[in-house]
Amino acid sequence: MRTELVLIAAMAVAVCGCKRETRTFRESPPASMASDVAVSDLHPGGGNPPARSISPYEQNAWALNEGKRLFSAYNCSGCHANGGGGMGPALIDDEWSYGHEADQIYRTILEGRPNGMPAWRGKIPDAQIWQLAAYIRSMSGLAPKDAAPSRSDHMNGPPPENAAPRMIPKNAGTPPAAER
């Protein structure tokens, strides 16, 4: 009896402590937390950059896989391929034009960016944009390996997300317009 209690208690702790398998059917994405996103490393007048909103989906396997599915469904893959880029920039490298944090990626998808990134506001539900943002971070190894998707059923592309080399993000991407 006591053993069983201990086991149950241990399982409860394990389940609560691990977000990997959590699956919510009514999403409450942290949209409001993304209101003060900056994409520049310069903050005039001193002080600190705005606090980052950590995506609730980044440690969640189901959400990351949803992000992966949506990445194809919304034709993100049409421009960014399986992360190597094409019409749009690569997402598996270490260069970020408009920031690599989840809230920055969220903003980039929501608002678009002037050199060809479409604005998806009103077209993709908020929770799905957060799932996409979490998945996009996993493409360059920025999400926990135990939650990131493993090898897909398609033709071999880049290494699977859970084996993707972790690229140290650099806010060094050059938008094409800079070449004018």
Q: Phi and psi at residue 170, in whole multiples of 5°?
A: -130, 130
Determine which residue in the list 18, 31, 33, 79 makes contact with another protein, applying CB under 8 A.
79
| Least gap, CB of 25 to another protein (angstroms) | 23
Determine which residue in the list 35, 40, 78, 170 makes contact with another protein, applying CB under 8 A.
78
By CB under 8 A, residue 24 contacts another protein: no
By CB under 8 A, residue 144 contacts another protein: no
| Least gap, CB of 79 to another protein (angstroms) | 6
- Select 24 or 72, whichever has its Cβ closest to another protein: 72
By CB under 8 A, residue 74 contacts another protein: yes
Determine which residue in the list 9, 116, 150, 166 makes contact with another protein, applying CB under 8 A.
116
Percentage helix, strand, coil for the chain under 3-state DSSP, each rounded to 5 = 40, 0, 60
State how far the Cα of 161 lies from the Cα of 89, in Å rounded to an integer: 18
**Neighbour-count burial for 4-20, b at 16+ CB within 10 Å, e otherwise:** eeeeeeeeeeeeeeebe
- Return all residues near 16 (Cβ < 8 A) that are at least 6 apart: none
Confirm if 94 and 104 have CB atoms less than 8 A apart. Answer: no
* Residues engaged in binding another protein (CB under 8 A): 72-75, 78-79, 81-90, 92-93, 95, 112, 114-118, 154-159, 165, 173-174, 176-177, 179-180
